[in-house]
Amino acid sequence: MSALTSSTGREGRRGILPWLAVPALLFFVGFAVVPLVGVFVLSFTTWDGIGTIHPSGLTSWRAVLTDPGLPHALWVTFLVMAVSWAVQTPASILLGTFLAGRQRYRAVLSLIYFVPLLLSSAAIAVAYRALLDPNFGLGAGLGSEWLSKDWLGRPWLAFGVVVFVVSWQFVPFHSLIYQGGVQQIPHSLYEAAQLDGAGRIRQFFSITLPQLKYTIITSSTLMVIGSLTFFDLIFVLTEGGPGDATRVLALDMYKRGFQADLMGPASAIAVILVLMGLAIALLLRRLGGRDAGESQLEGA
């Protein structure tokens, strides 16, 4: 509060400005910052979600860190993140570059591409469960041996389905980001390249891709942080199964906390998720060589 009053004094007429940020700040502190500190505190307690909360030192952490399920959940989380990034990024860049062009039918395409983003993860998961059902789904209906696999019943198939469905849902969004990025590349660069006799493919790799650097960082950050929170889709689609094949950390947290009533260990998992998110964001920011937020503000 001292920063607030001192700046009011210094700025004179602009005294109202800091107060304009206060309502947003209150919501954010109350339901994001306090919980963020809270989840750290709760990881040192024992709580069944209803009764009283008991401090229990490192018990929860010990339970989580010695659980063989943790390395597995970490591995699955990492794998979902890495594979879905590797699938979505090239596809989104390609589609985004394509959509940045001028023909009219591209506008129609981008209109349809966007529809999966309107469906809730729950709706998408419910629909794909029906679509992929080995007995009643598309494969059985078409009498296709290849399509009527037990998609969600085999570990690697289920993993593949999760990555596919995630991409189905989010590639449209990221291709939109890339479309905007491509549209901001100065046209003169391409003209110069053309004069130098660079072909289209050469232009793509020498101009488009390097110019998209910051767009790639933005999109990747959103993608990777988002992949840490793939809870609803996986929860409805596979419930983490078969076995634990698709049990990512966010799902692990829910199952330990809200199904097994072990809020302490679940909080420890949540802390790990937060740390992963921060670490990845910092890493991407370093790779990008600039602070996405700050430099945008200073460049104004």
Partner 1 sequence: MTTTLTEPQPQKTLPRERGQRPGATTRRRNWLGGLAGWLWLAVVVVPLYWILITSLKARSNYYATNPLAPPTDPTLDNYELVLESDFISYFVNSVVVTVGAVVPAVAVSFMAAYAIVRGWRMRFLRVVNGMFLMGLAIPLQATAIPVYLIIIKLQLYDSLLALILPSIAFAIPLSVLILANFIRDVPKELFDSMRVDGATEWGTLWRLAAPLTRPAILTVTIFNALTIWNGFLLPLILTQSPSQRTLPLALWTFQGEYGVNVPAILAAVVLTTLPLIILYAFGRRQLLSGLTAGFSR
Instruction: Show contacts with partner 1 in window 13-52 (CB under 8 A).
Output: 13-14, 16-21, 23-25, 27-28, 30-36, 38-39, 42, 49
Q: Say whether 123 sits in a helix, a strand or coil.
A: helix
Q: Give the shortest CB-62-to-partner 1 separation in angstroms.
A: 19
Q: In this structure, are residues 248 and 72 in contact, taking their beta carbons and an 8 Å threshold?
A: no
Q: In this structure, are residues 42 and 264 in contact, taking their beta carbons and an 8 Å threshold?
A: yes
Give the DSSP letter string of 16-68. Answer: GHHHHHHHHHHHHIIIIIHHHHHHHHHTTEE--SSS--EE-TTHHHHHHHT-T
Query: Tell me, what amino acid is at 179?
Result: Q
Q: Give the shortest CB-71-to-partner 1 separation in angstroms.
A: 19
Measured from the CB atom, the residue of 71 and 229 that comes closer to partner 1 is 229
Regarding 94 and contact with partner 1 (CB under 8 A), the answer is yes
80/76 Cα distance (integer angstroms): 6
Choice from 69, 168, 213, 217 touching partner 1 (CB under 8 A) = 168
Question: Residues 50-89: x/- map of binding to partner 1 (CB under 8 A)?
Answer: ----------------------------------------
Give, as ranges, the residues between 218 and 257 that touch partner 1 (CB under 8 A): 218-219, 221-222, 225, 228-229, 231-232, 235-236, 250, 253-254, 257
Choice from 69, 153, 155, 180 touching partner 1 (CB under 8 A) = 180
- Contacts (Cβ under 8 Å, ≥6 apart) of 123: none
Choice from 128, 151, 159, 170 touching partner 1 (CB under 8 A) = 128
Q: Give the shortest CB-12-to-partner 1 separation in angstroms.
A: 11
Q: Give the shortest CB-87-to-partner 1 separation in angstroms.
A: 12
Give, as ranges, the residues between 262 and 291 that touch partner 1 (CB under 8 A): 263, 266-267, 270-271, 273-274, 277-278, 280-282
Q: Give the shortest CB-242-to-partner 1 separation in angstroms.
A: 18
Give, as ranges, the residues between 200 and 219 that touch partner 1 (CB under 8 A): 200, 203-204, 208, 215, 218-219
Number of residues forming the site for partner 1 (CB under 8 A) = 122
Q: Give the shortest CB-143-to-partner 1 separation in angstroms.
A: 9
Q: In this structure, are residues 22 and 16 in contact, taking their beta carbons and an 8 Å threshold?
A: no
Q: Tell me which residue of 291, 224, 204 sits closest to 89, measured CA to CA.
A: 224
Q: Give the shortest CB-288-to-partner 1 separation in angstroms.
A: 13
Measured from the CB atom, the residue of 55 and 120 that comes closer to partner 1 is 120
| 236 CB burial (10 A radius; 0-12, 13-18, 19+) | middle
161/152 Cα distance (integer angstroms): 7
Inter-CA distances, 40 with 10, 57, 267, 269, 280, Å: 37, 12, 7, 10, 19
